[in-house]
Structure 1
Amino acid sequence: MDWSKSKSIFIVVFLILNVFLYSLYLNRHTEAQLVEVLGEKTIEAQLQDDNITYGVLPTNIEKAAYISATVKNFEEENIVIQNAQSIIVENKNKLIVTLKEPVKISNLDQEENYRNFLQFQVYEGASYSLWKVDPENGKVTFFQRLNDRKIYYNINGVLTIFLNDKNEIIGYEQTLLDNIEEYNKEKTLLPPIQVIQALYGKRLLKPDSKITEMKLGYSTLVQLKTQVFVPTWEVRATTQDNIHEEYFVNAVEGKVIDVQLDATRVEAVETEVEDVKEVDEE
């Protein structure tokens, strides 16, 4: 066979194949656009159909790093607390304080009203931020924070204040995360609207509900001696029946996560942490 003719035939066939593939791509692209126009709706339109509303979403948070921390060993410190009747260290990592005189807080729901108490009567009290007020059970819960970002539901970073029947503070239990620092480089975070889409896709957002707040915090990724926390979007919503709900979404991967530990899991994790510490000490 003449090589020149073979070469020409090969080039022609190659060009025909390219034209065919390009036309196939155009057809599929056009079909995809048509499907999107006729069938698929934007997340905003889907939310509108279900009457799910939201206010102004955060726009200034694009990147954040994972963080790491260790569990505070209170036995290593000489702790002196103003107005303390007794100070007990339980299992090295929990501080139990009973107050001499009850402390009156004018409005339990206002975080700024706790500022003086936290500053002067709680060890590293400025590290905590108000999470939940439960006067019926005589408790107020604070989560530890880093740069105004809460660390959600970590058993080693919680301050629980106890109230008497007059809603006065009579004591508290405290755990504390120590040596908090950024872990690796900053990661690009999912924008808030994609977080809402993740929740909507799992049918967690109920029709006629309103998203009232979105904040960035951290949730536990690894819980051993050195703990690692992932940036996490906190989403608060109120249903048509005025029920307040909270959701958490991994801000890097977009996974909806359950950050609340039940009693059994808490006990298991505490045991695991203690076992790791004992091995390290040996």
Structure 2
Amino acid sequence: MDWKKTETIFIIAFLILDIFLLVLFIDSRMSSSPTPLVSQTLEEKLKSENITYGKIPSNPEKGSYLSTEPLAFTQKDINDSKGQKISVLNANQRIYSLLNKPVKIDPDKYGADLMPFLKSDVFEGDRYTYWSYDSERREMTFNQKIDGRPVLFNTNGQIVFNLNKDNEVISYQQTMLGDTQMFDEKDDVISGTDALEVLHQHGDLKQNSKIVNTTLGYYNLVSLPSSDVYLPVWAFEVKHDKQTTFFLVNGLEGSVINTNDAQTKQEVPNAESDVTRKAR
């Protein structure tokens, strides 16, 4: 018997067996290792749910909690308002104006053609910015700005213009917030994209929705005996099944504000005279 040859065969056989066992071991370790989860981006998640959106503001922003209260108008405040018949209502906190000569506008221009009238004939009119137009009520709303941002869903800081059937402004009602006081130094406000992700994780966005507008503004969080407290919020205007809903995200704390106030249009007290109704 050739022992050398036999020894060589055994060595080769054991070597092949070792390689086979090593391959089995590696394969078993690979199969037992957890498969890494594939993380979807926010964009991918929204796309998979057919949630569309336009440009989301991404510039760094700062804001703070602040306090203010409704302003009481004085006779001096309305003395320069020419070509109008003005009444001051609600403890001098609401101006009602009936124009002597209607102002023709195009509602599709988002209030751009009303700006000259605002600046020249409305008290502190340049402190307001366009917010919405209600074609059924024929009302165009401008919101007051605080720290360069609009006050949202608050009738205490608005101008509501009333239009007739010929798209002419025939009257308006104005309220205003007074001086503001910040509670502390300005802090970083979360980005619009981060606010959108918070809203999505909260489960408020339904499939097949469309985010038609994103606004950073101030919202009345709580009312105190001496003043009202406001904070910066991201407001998302969302359309779904022909219904429009507004959702708010706290810009400082990154939490969804659960409120029905932001989801319904607030009625402005009706101070119209018979003359105004006939003009319509």
Which TM-score applies when normalising by structure 2? 0.72
Contact 1:104 1:168 in 2 (8 A): yes
Shift of 1:126: 0.9
Q: Write out per-residue CA displacement over residues 114-153 of structure 1, whole angstroms, 9 at most, x where no aligned residue.
A: 1111112211111111111123212111111124311101
Please identify the structure whose Cα radius of gyration is greater: 2
- Structure 2 partner of 1:144: 144
Shift of 1:213: 3.4
Alignment of 1:193-232 (within 5 A): 193-224=193-224, 225-232=226-233
Distance, in Å, in 1 between the alignment partners of 2:46 and 2:88 is 51
Shift of 1:172: 1.1
- Structure 2 partner of 1:252: 252
Alignment of 1:60-209 (within 5 A): 60-75=59-74, 77-80=76-79, 81-209=81-209
Distance, in Å, in 2 between the alignment partners of 1:49 and 1:261 is 26
User: Which amino acid is the alignment partner of residue 170 of structure 1?
Assistant: I
Taking structure 1 as reference, are residues 79 and 227 closer, same or farther at Cα in structure 2, changes over 3 Å only? same
Shift of 1:203: 2.5
User: Which amino acid is the alignment partner of residue 112 of structure 1?
Assistant: A
Taking structure 1 as reference, are residues 78 and 200 closer, same or farther at Cα in structure 2, changes over 3 Å only? closer
- 2:235 counterpart of 1:234: yes
User: Which amino acid is the alignment partner of residue 235 of structure 1?
Assistant: F
Distance, in Å, in 2 between the alignment partners of 1:82 and 1:158 is 20
Deviates more, 1:219-228 or 1:40-49: 40-49
Q: Write out per-residue CA displacement over residues 183-228 of structure 1, whole angstroms, 9 at most, x where no aligned residue.
A: 3111222232331122212322222334343231111123244222
Contact 2:107 2:133 in 1 (8 A): no
Contact 1:94 1:174 in 2 (8 A): yes
SS of residue in 1 equivalent to 2:78: coil
Distance, in Å, in 1 between the alignment partners of 2:149 and 2:206 is 27
User: Which amino acid is the alignment partner of residue 260 of structure 1?
Assistant: A
* Number of equivalent positions: 233
Distance, in Å, in 1 between the alignment partners of 2:227 and 2:245 is 31
SS of residue in 2 equivalent to 1:118: helix
Distance, in Å, in 2 between the alignment partners of 1:195 and 1:144 is 23
User: Which amino acid is the alignment partner of residue 48 of structure 1?
Assistant: K
Taking structure 1 as reference, are residues 88 and 189 closer, same or farther at Cα in structure 2, changes over 3 Å only? closer
Structure 1 unaligned residues grouped into runs of 5+: 1-32, 268-282
User: Which amino acid is the alignment partner of residue 70 of structure 1?
Assistant: E
Distance, in Å, in 2 between the alignment partners of 1:39 and 1:119 is 54
Shift of 1:108: 5.0
Report the RMSD for the aligned CA atoms in angstroms.
3.0
Contact 1:109 1:133 in 2 (8 A): no
Taking structure 1 as reference, are residues 214 and 96 closer, same or farther at Cα in structure 2, changes over 3 Å only? same
Structure 2 unaligned residues grouped into runs of 5+: 1-32, 270-280
Shift of 1:40: 6.0
SS of residue in 2 equivalent to 1:260: helix
Distance, in Å, in 2 between the alignment partners of 1:246 and 1:192 is 15
Distance, in Å, in 2 between the alignment partners of 1:148 and 1:209 is 29
Taking structure 1 as reference, are residues 183 and 108 closer, same or farther at Cα in structure 2, changes over 3 Å only? farther
SS of residue in 2 equivalent to 1:177: coil
SS of residue in 2 equivalent to 1:207: coil
SS of residue in 1 equivalent to 2:184: strand
Contact 2:247 2:263 in 1 (8 A): no
Shift of 1:244: 4.4
User: Which amino acid is the alignment partner of residue 227 of structure 1?
Assistant: D
Taking structure 1 as reference, are residues 140 and 249 closer, same or farther at Cα in structure 2, changes over 3 Å only? same
